[in-house]
Amino acid sequence: MVGPIPRDSFQILPQSAKVLFGAKTRRALAAELSEAGVTRVLVLTTPRQVELGQAIGAELDQGFAGLFSGATMHTPVSVTQDAMNVVRQQGADCVLSVGGGSTIGLGKALSARSGVFHAALPTTYAGSEMTPILGETEDGVKTTRTDPNLRPSLVVYDPELTYRLPVAMSVTSAINAMAHAIEALYAQNGNPVVDLLAIEGIRALVTALPTIATQPEATEARAAALYGAWLCGTCLGNTSMALHHKLCHTLGGSFNLPHAQTHTVVLPHVLAFNAPKIPGVVEKLQPILGTDPARGLFDLAKGLDAPTALQDLGLAQADIARATQLALAKQYPNPRPVEPDAIAALLQRAWAGDPPKHEEMTTV
Ligand code: NAD
């Protein structure tokens, strides 16, 4: 007999992107773009991925209008303006983001400004391609907005493009993806479909990582990890995030800590903090991450040589107080109320690289 429905009241949001998944699916791009009515494609990359961008562009044949390789972290508006000039000069009616969250962020910013078609070929596990979210920086201030039109219209997941993602980045990027799924499992606006995607996504990533760490070009493991990343990105795009993402945005935005590595260090500590209020989520995670899922995550990261201490990412111990203050400045839903002392203690443990600790709650 079927048990009670996991969430008693929920909404499912419409999804707009067409998704293609599989090895060599990048070769279907030219036909897909032509079917979408696109004729001139500007390929976007970071400076590190120019070679890949050129190769993808070459496969587009006559549709290739050029390459802009200035994508960078936090989508600076000045870079977007430079790229906008190239869109106009080349008469592009499509931008094709080839890369991770930084490149896809630029594609979103360009598409939002000009209305050009946006297609994405993700090469990390960050998940931006599945979200209606864009964070842009100008004069040192990051502004984030949400609009369903920001989602790329076409997403092509080709696992072969992740073979060269360095192992260290693969691990932190995968844990970054798991963070989206874990926070989706306790999101106020979650739903049973998102719960299924989240558990399947985490399972795929956790299973794939040990193989990727020793054989970065293992076809099945890379495909499984990218599949997991897609599911976790979908969770991010359909729910609101809580304490974990708030802390990571604070640490990235105000202290310039690296994105995926910061998620990797913080996630076990937030899961341990929230655990007493989310027994159902803990139960769902146990078959994948062990009896204590927070400890399981910490051990997974440590065992794969990922960072486990914020001090190793450049945070000064003296900054913990200000980080706590900034992270608590605005209220947002979280399963467990966020008290300043508890958050400072959590950050202290994450700073030192200590294992996550399950503390008694002082309030309910
Ligand atoms: P990234 O896009 O900044 O990439 C990091 C570096 O790795 C870059 O130099 C890139 O060229 C290189 N790289 C990427 N894929 C590679 C590959 N397969 N092989 C070799 N090198 C590769 O990193 P990220 O973690 O994907 O994205 C982080 C950024 O994305 C942050 O600014 C974050 O805020 C944003 N983000 C936004 C959302 C959203 O929903 N808006 C979601 C997740 C992340």
Q: What average pLDDT does the segment 325-332 reach?
A: 89
Express each pLDDT in 80-100 by its tens digit. Answer: 999 999 999 999 999 999 999
Q: Which letter, b or e, does each residue of 259-272 get, where b requires 16 or more Cβ atoms within 10 Å of its Cβ? A: bbbbbbbbbbbbbb
Show the tokens assigned to 84: 């906008």
Q: Given the CA of residue 74, which atom of ligand 1 is nearest to it? A: 32
Q: Is the dihedral of CA 120, 182, 347, 265 positive or negative?
A: negative
**Residue 235 pLDDT more than 90?**
yes
Among 13-17, 199-203, 281-285, 346-350, the minimum mean pLDDT is found in: 13-17
Q: Whose CA is nearest to atom 16 of ligand 1?
A: 165
The model carries a pTM of: 0.96
Q: Is the pLDDT of residue 5 over 90?
A: no
Ordered DSSP codes for 116-133: -EEEEEE-SS--GGG-SE
Residue 62 and residue 19: Cα distance in Å, rounded? 23
pLDDT of 364 over the 50 cut: no
The residue nearest atom 36 of ligand 1, judged by CA position, is: 101
> From CA 215, how far away is CA 61, in angstroms rounded?
33
pLDDT tens string 200-232: 999 999 999 999 999 999 999 999 999 999 999
**DSSP conformational letter for 181:** H
Q: Please tell me the predicted confidence (pLDDT) of residue 111.
A: 98
Distance from Cα 36 to the centre of ligand 1, integer Å: 26
**Minimal-distance CA residue to ligand 1 atom 22:** 165
- How confident is the model at residue 313, as a pLDDT? 98
* Best residue among 103, 164, 259, 262 to mutate for probing ligand 1, ranked by most atoms within 8 Å of CB: 259
Cα dist from 194 to 155, 215, 239, 240, 354, whole Å: 19, 31, 8, 12, 31
For atom 30 of ligand 1, the residue with the nearest CA is 101
290 CA from centroid of ligand 1 (Å): 29
Tens of pLDDT along 20-46? 999 999 999 999 999 999 999 999 999
Mean pLDDT score of the chain, rounded to an integer? 95
Whether pLDDT at 61 is above 90: no
- What is the CA(35)–ligand 1 centre distance, in A? 28
Task: Check residue 4 and give its pLDDT.
Answer: 73
